[in-house]
Chain A
Amino acid sequence: MGWAGFLLRRFAGTAAVVLLLSVGVFLLLYLAPGSIQQTLLGTRPATAETIAAIQARHHLNDPVALQYLRWFGDVLRGDLGTSIRTGMPVSDMLGQRLPLTLALVGYGTLLAALAGIPLGVLGALRRGRVTDRLVVTAGVVGLSAPPFAVGLLLLVVFALWLGWFPVYGTGQGAGDQLWHLTLPAAALALGAVGLLIRFGRAALVREMEQDYVVFARARGLSGPLVLGYAMRNSLVPILTAAGLVVTGMLAGTVLVEVTFALPGLGSLLVDSVTFKDVPVVQALALLLTVLISGVNLLVDIGYSIIDPRVRLGRSVS
């Protein structure tokens, strides 16, 4: 199995998942009670003409399959439709809000990696001692804490009582924005830190007990080199965790943005869902699907880079 074939298969798999989920996304909202019609009508009187006009404009009388194909064709051409709530093109709305969410997720991932991986390694190396128990407990608490609760606790402690960080807002200029994003990113990162500690520590503990590590020590290899052996082998579960981290962050960003009143994709989703702004919800769901599938694809490719057995096949000569 060559590299090209491997990549091609993975890509095809990802595309199939995205396609399948796009059908799901479309159907779900198509089946929504209260119907788009009702929402579009708003406070206007439900006369036969207005209903007919709305139905004609949004092709609501066509067969489902046709409606889906029209919608998906438009999506492929970059036309995500028009928001019912604001009347703006959906793609513009997403474009405005995407940078903030990406910055938040990126910042959060960075914080999570910087804290989670070293803590996981520390716990594994100090296994069974007080340091390890503290790390494990911190990890479990991080894993258990919903981002909105963490966010509010951080606000109370660091913004309200200590006054180190601003309470709300996004700030002006790069440095100030980063400053404003720190508490939200930390709230977002905490769960990921817990995940990385759990997976990373468990994997490293398991690897450190393997024969090849004992053998490496027995033949006099230096400490860092032995740790390197074990770390390399524990990368596979850590990579799995990394995939979960990013998906978890995309979900968590909804809560964090609402908590800190940040105008990102997450708060847009909540607003649109509450308002039953179907075109926006559809577009957001599709965007998230693509993002998550993309991350999973990267994780899959990562496995094959780390482990030659995936790349070269398992055959024993």
Chain B
Amino acid sequence: MLRVDDLTVRQPATGRTLLSGVSFEVAPGESVAIVGESGSGKSLTVRALLGLLPGGLESHGQVVIDGQRVDDDPRARRRQRGGTVSLLMQDPFTLLNPLRKAGRQIADGLPSGADPKAEVPRLLAEVGLPAEVAERYPFQLSGGMRQRVGLAAALAAAPRVLVADEPTTALDATTQREVLALIRRVQRERDMTFLLITHDLRLAFSMCDRIMVMYAGRVMEVGRAAELREEQHHPYTRALLAAEPPADRRLAVIPSVPGSVPAHDAVADRCGFADRCAHAVAACRVGVPELRSIGAAGVPEARPLDGGRLSACVRAEELPVAPAPPLGVAATPRGAAEPILDIRDLRKTYPGASRPALAGVSLSVAPGEIVAVVGESGSGKTTLARCVTGLERPDSGTVLLDGGDCSDYTRMTRQAVRRARRTAQMIFQDPYSTLNPARTVGATLKEALAADGRPPDVGALLDLVGLDPALAALRPANLSGGERQRVAIARAVAGEPRLLVCDEPVSALDVSVQAQVLTLLAGLRERLSMGMLFITHDLAVVRQLADRLYVLRAGECLESGPVQRVLDAPDHPYTRKLLDSVPDGSSAWPGQSSE
């Protein structure tokens, strides 16, 4: 149904190559996932496949869709869009034309001659939406509903191939599960060929028949989902799988991969993963390893592209058997002490909001304790973090930091504010805006040390967060996401605060980097005996890091307790629902679509 041969994407203006040598096939009715971290080239691959590359990029290589070669024929491509291939995109908030009613946008894609009055409600029903949604503007719909409208619009011309580019990454976990279940149901009912782009290997195992793993603009490994789940023939796939922590048990050590994803051109002459690979030998660096067939027992296999196991590792056959999944360990219990943070009945309603962001939340953090606050968007978890550090002012309730009342920073004396600032610091989600782009790392850290009344030893501070002191001379633009987040952590702990508020600090990072940052935070907690308030949506991260957790929904705390107790035997149905929303890699997930 789809065949791509030796695809290359380049940016002529800068002479950069973003991906090269990508070849694959998808059979009719088959579902294939392309899995990779940021910079792997997975999205560009499908954009090139569809002829929809962003401006300034050009692709080379053969693309055959439905038996027709289209890479040199823009008109054939245009004819095929909609009826033969259709694309569902990532962000439900930008996917739809904001000025046009949902129904009309769906109707725009109907084949000529179809009756919108009959077809639009039918399509809406198929994606589990009531017919009156047709009369709504996108801004009147929630993210999940918009993504369903997007799916209905993508299906309007009855495509035979559906390409979905991270269709649920921007959605909450529970919504993600519903939308994925819906997509899979629709795909099976319509018997569509399905190409899924995702960064989540377990999600890919659950959704698709075959998996293609990409890294730094190249294909690393291809195989059937069931086989790949059992055994990986490329160290990168293994590392990727291992770095995604499990939600059902706590690991003694989170396996992390050193370094970060390189640019395609930086590894043009060798295996892209060699520099981060524990198994790398000299042969890995003397040329780009070819993607070749691997038999079930590691014997080369003579089958072509489709269906077989392929790996681009020169040592694919000699890789040691993957170690058994590590066993869980019990979290070390923390002794109860006078809390460093004590929140009582905190309430906050934003002006113009229909319901409170925080509707009476109480919580405490002991010195050296990591307390997780878990919730989906709109749960109030970020508002809570911002109230603790004084970035928002609560309407009522108290925030006690180390015994001092910090409920309203505007009413505190200068000394009290300074004391509070030195007690509690914060790190943020987005690694790209967490550092001032105009200042060097050294200037940022020196200022932080001075503000906290410490000697200006930037080198020691960088060392503390595991960074090379030479980075001090660089600006954030020259750092990777993981490095930036480490600098941000260094800035926060410069004055050895007793409480660190972490607002989703790893959710914007690649999995292989996420593990490094989690390990760093766990280590800092021990070395500085620092308490942490850890805001997250990710139960797997909670399991690995936290001692206790609070589950928030719509500004209310539904459940709290030690991590092991709550995650092993949740009391509240919502906590159970959250746990069920974590992809487990089995083919039973995401389950039946509720509609």
**Complex contact flag A–B (Cβ < 8 Å):** yes
A residues near B (Cβ < 8 Å) are 127-128, 209-212, 214-221, 225, 229, 232-233, 306-309, 312, 314-317
List 14 other contacts, CB 8 Å, given A212-B96, A306-B99, A309-B98: A127-B55, A211-B91, A212-B95, A212-B97, A214-B89, A215-B87, A215-B153, A219-B159, A220-B109, A233-B97, A308-B137, A308-B139, A316-B139, A317-B136
Which residue of chain B has its CB nearest to the CB of A229?
B97
Number of residue pairs spanning A and B whose beta carbons lie under 8 angstroms apart? 88
Q: Which of B147-182 contact A (CB under 8 A)?
A: 150, 153-154, 156-157, 159
B332 CB–A CB distance under 8 Å: no
| Contact between A312 and B140, CB atoms less than 8 A apart | yes
The answer to whether A211 and B95 touch (CB under 8 A), given A218-B87, A225-B108, A314-B139, is yes
The answer to whether A211 and B98 touch (CB under 8 A), given A316-B141, A316-B142, is no
| Contact between B140 and A317, CB atoms less than 8 A apart | yes
Which of chain B's residues have a CB closer than 8 A to the CB of A229? 97, 100
A263 to chain B, nearest CB (A): 45
B residues near A (Cβ < 8 Å) are 50, 52, 54-55, 78, 80-83, 85-87, 89-91, 94-100, 108-109, 136-137, 139-142, 150, 153-154, 156-157, 159, 354
Which residue of chain B has its CB nearest to the CB of A306?
B99
A317 to B136, CA, bound (A): 10
A316 to B354, CA, bound (A): 10
Which residue of chain B has its CB nearest to the CB of A307?
B99
| Contact between A308 and B99, CB atoms less than 8 A apart | yes
Which of chain A's residues have a CB closer than 8 A to the CB of B140? 312, 315-317
B147 to chain A, nearest CB (A): 11
| Contact between B137 and A312, CB atoms less than 8 A apart | yes
Interface core residue of A127, A220, A225, A312 (most chain B CB under 10 Å): A220
Which of chain A's residues have a CB closer than 8 A to the CB of B150? 215
Chain A interface, DSSP helix/strand/loop, else mixed: helix
Which of chain B's residues have a CB closer than 8 A to the CB of A210? 94
26 CB contacts below 8 A, A to B, read A209-B54, A211-B91, A211-B95, A212-B97, A214-B89, A215-B89, A215-B95, A216-B97, A218-B81, A218-B86, A218-B89, A219-B157, A220-B80, A220-B81, A220-B82, A225-B108, A232-B99, A232-B100, A233-B98, A306-B99, A307-B99, A309-B98, A314-B139, A316-B140, A316-B141, A316-B142
Which of chain B's residues have a CB closer than 8 A to the CB of A211? 89-91, 94-95
Interface core residue of A211, A306, A312, A316 (most chain B CB under 10 Å): A211
A154 to chain B, nearest CB (A): 37
Interface core residue of A212, A216, A218 (most chain B CB under 10 Å): A218
Which of chain A's residues have a CB closer than 8 A to the CB of B54? 209
A312 to B96, CA, bound (A): 18
A225 to B97, CA, bound (A): 12
A100 to B447, CA, bound (A): 65
Which residue of chain A has its CB nearest to the CB of B82?
A220
Which of chain B's residues have a CB closer than 8 A to the CB of A209? 54-55
